[in-house]
Amino acid sequence: MRPLNQAKILYILLSAIFIFAIYCAYAYDLPKWFPFNEKNALTEWQEKIFKGKVLYTVKPDDPTGYLKAQSKGACSGLIYKIKFNAQQLPMISWQWKINQFPGKNKAEPATASSSGWLEKDDYAARVYVIFPSWNFMNIRSLEYIWDETLAEGTIVTSPYSANIKLIVVQSGKNGTSDWVAEERNIAEDYKMAFGKGSSLSVGAIALMTDADNTISTAEAEYKDIKVGYKK
């Protein structure tokens, strides 16, 4: 197994701290919807790069617009600062489509106990919910993923931090040619992943398509992201 990608660890943790330091100054109209129907739709998103740049392109020609992500051995993500309480407004929804999965070794499924777990921490599509904290060690994140092999509903801990929990919401290649709609209760998912939460204050959401560990190619599309509402 190659050494842990320290840049990725610092990115996740330091970005969350930065978000927490500034998000209190902003007011947000909730629920927040991201249609990606204008070419400048990424103006308020921040790109964080840890190994090469993923190509994120807004495609406004679709009736609702969508975001296309293409990674060629790269790892970078998009972060949107937003403030809401997930106990009061617990829902997040989105649609996604996988065009190409990263090139993992299918002979050994990606589990936290298997060898090569770090190398398998590449996913064609990830949706993050970040929970900042004044205490550096208490920053936490839920990471919704689409994986080829892990069963739907599986929850695993990131190889980079125990405070990052990955939840498999889609599994396998079936249906990858079509848009798949997701809706998750953030508060319930947090309880499943971490146990009982405290205030569950969200400081940001993020998107990422990456293929840096496998040095391969991954491609996905995202649209109709909506966050901060009741079911």
Beta strands in the chain (DSSP E): 32-34, 46-51, 55-59, 66-72, 75-85, 91-100, 126-131, 140-147, 155-157, 164-171, 180-185, 201-210, 217-229
Structure tokens at 91: 């829902």
The parts of the chain modelled with pLDDT lower than 70 are: 1-28, 105-119, 175, 197-198
**pLDDT value, residue 7:** 46
Q: Cβ distance 122 to 83 under 8 Å?
A: no
Residue 5 has what pLDDT? 53
Residue type at 165?
K
What tens digit of pLDDT does each residue of 158-185 get? 988 899 999 999 998 876 778 999 999 9
Task: Write the pLDDT tens digit of every residue in 192-201.
Answer: 999 876 679 9
The domains located in the chain, with CATH, are 6-229 (2.60.120.200)
pTM of the model: 0.85
- Sign of the alpha-carbon dihedral angle for 124, 160, 106, 151: negative
| Residue 186, H or E segment | helix 186-194
- At residue 22, the pLDDT reads 46
- pLDDT at position 75 is 92
